[in-house]
Chain A
Amino acid sequence: MLYRENGQFKTTYSADQQLMPIAQDRWLMIALVASSFLAVPLLASDYALRALIIPFLILTIAAIGLNILVGYCGQISLGSAGFMGVGAYVAFNLTLRVPQLDFLVVLLLSGGSAALIGIGFGIPSLRIKGLYLAVATLAAQFFLDWVFARIRWFTADSSSGSVSTNPIEMLGWTVERPVDKYLLVLGVVCLLTLAAKNLTRSYIGRAWMATRDMDVAAEVIGVRPLTAKLSAFAVSSFYAGVAGALWGFVYLGSWEPAAFGVSMSLNVLFMIIIGGLGSMVGSFFGAAFLVVLPLLLNQIPGMVGIDLSTAMKSHMESMIFGGLIVLFLAIEPHGLARLWAIGKEKLRIWPFPH
Chain B
Amino acid sequence: MPLAIGRLRRHWPVVLLAMLLVVGLVAPLAGGAATSGFFLEVLLGGLMAGVLYSLVALGFVLIYKASGVFNFAQGAMVLFAALATARLAEQFPLPLAVVMALGLMIGFAWLVERLVLRPLVNQSAATLLMATLGISIFLEGFGQAVWGNDIYRIDLGLPKDPMIVGARLFDGGILISREDLVAASVVAALVLALSLFFQKTATGRALRAVADDHLAAQSIGIPLNRIWVIVWSVAGFVALVAGLVWGSKLGVQFSLSQVALKALPVAILGGLTSIPGAIVGGLIVGVGEKFADVFLGQALARWFNLEGGGIEQWFAYVLVLAFLLVRPEGLFGERHIDRV
A–B in direct contact per CB < 8 Å:
yes
Which of A139, A216, A217 is the one whose CB lies under 8 Å from B321? A139
Residues of A within 8 A of B (CB): 70, 76, 124, 127-132, 134-136, 138-139, 142-143, 145-146, 149-152, 214-217, 220, 262, 266, 269-270, 273, 277, 311-312, 314-319, 321-326, 329-330, 333
| B265 x A135 contact (CB < 8 A) | yes
The 3 closest A-B pairs by CB, nearest first: A318-B141, A322-B138, A325-B134
Contacts of B313 in A (CB 8 A): 142, 145-146
Q: A146-B310, A146-B314, A323-B134 are in contact. Are A151 and B340 (CB under 8 A)?
A: no
A47 to B176, CA, bound (A): 57
| Residue among A127, A129, A130, A138 facing the most chain B CB atoms (10 A cut-off) | A138
| A326 x B138 contact (CB < 8 A) | yes
Choose the segment among B49-57, B124-132, B239-247 that binds chain A (4+ C-beta atoms closer than 8 Å). Answer: B124-132
Q: Does B149 contact A (CB under 8 A)?
A: yes
A319 to B123, CA, bound (A): 23
| A130 x B125 contact (CB < 8 A) | yes
For residue A328, which residue of chain B has the nearest CB?
B134
Query: What DSSP secondary structure best describes chain A's contact surface?
Result: helix
A143 to B123, CA, bound (A): 32
Contacts of B311 in A (CB 8 A): 146
Contacts of B330 in A (CB 8 A): 132
| A318 x B137 contact (CB < 8 A) | yes
| B130 x A319 contact (CB < 8 A) | no
A83 vs chain B, min Cβ distance (A): 15
Choose the segment among B26-34, B114-122, B159-167, B206-214 that binds chain A (4+ C-beta atoms closer than 8 Å). Answer: B114-122
Q: Does B136 contact A (CB under 8 A)?
A: yes
| A333 x B265 contact (CB < 8 A) | no
Q: Does B5 contact A (CB under 8 A)?
A: no
Contacts of A76 in B (CB 8 A): 126, 129
Q: A322-B136, A322-B137, A322-B138 are in contact. Are A273 and B130 (CB under 8 A)?
A: yes
A122 vs chain B, min Cβ distance (A): 12
A178 to B21, CA, bound (A): 55
A314 to B324, CA, bound (A): 38
Bitwise interface map of B from 92 to 129 toward A, beta carbon under 8 Å scored 1, else 0: 00000000000000000000000110011001111101
| A319 x B138 contact (CB < 8 A) | yes
Contacts of B307 in A (CB 8 A): 150, 152
| A128 x B306 contact (CB < 8 A) | no
Contacts of A215 in B (CB 8 A): 338
Q: A128-B328, A139-B314, A139-B318 are in contact. Are A326 and B115 (CB under 8 A)?
A: yes
Contacts of A132 in B (CB 8 A): 268, 324, 328-330
| B133 x A325 contact (CB < 8 A) | yes
Q: Does B184 contact A (CB under 8 A)?
A: no
| A131 x B70 contact (CB < 8 A) | yes
| B321 x A326 contact (CB < 8 A) | no
| B321 x A124 contact (CB < 8 A) | yes
| A151 x B141 contact (CB < 8 A) | no
A270 to B72, CA, bound (A): 13
For residue B119, which residue of chain A has the nearest CB?
A330
Q: Does B202 contact A (CB under 8 A)?
A: no
Q: A132-B329, A333-B123 are in contact. Are A311 and B149 (CB under 8 A)?
A: yes
For residue B136, which residue of chain A has the nearest CB?
A322
Q: Does B320 contact A (CB under 8 A)?
A: yes
| A266 x B133 contact (CB < 8 A) | yes
Which of A128, A220, A322 is the one whose CB lies under 8 Å from B141? A322
Q: Does B261 contact A (CB under 8 A)?
A: yes
Q: Does B303 contact A (CB under 8 A)?
A: no
Q: Does B264 contact A (CB under 8 A)?
A: yes
A132 vs chain B, min Cβ distance (A): 6
| Residue among B133, B136, B137, B329 facing the most chain A CB atoms (10 A cut-off) | B137
A134 to B272, CA, bound (A): 13
A262 to B72, CA, bound (A): 14
Q: A76-B126, A124-B325, A135-B320 are in contact. Are A319 and B304 (CB under 8 A)?
A: no
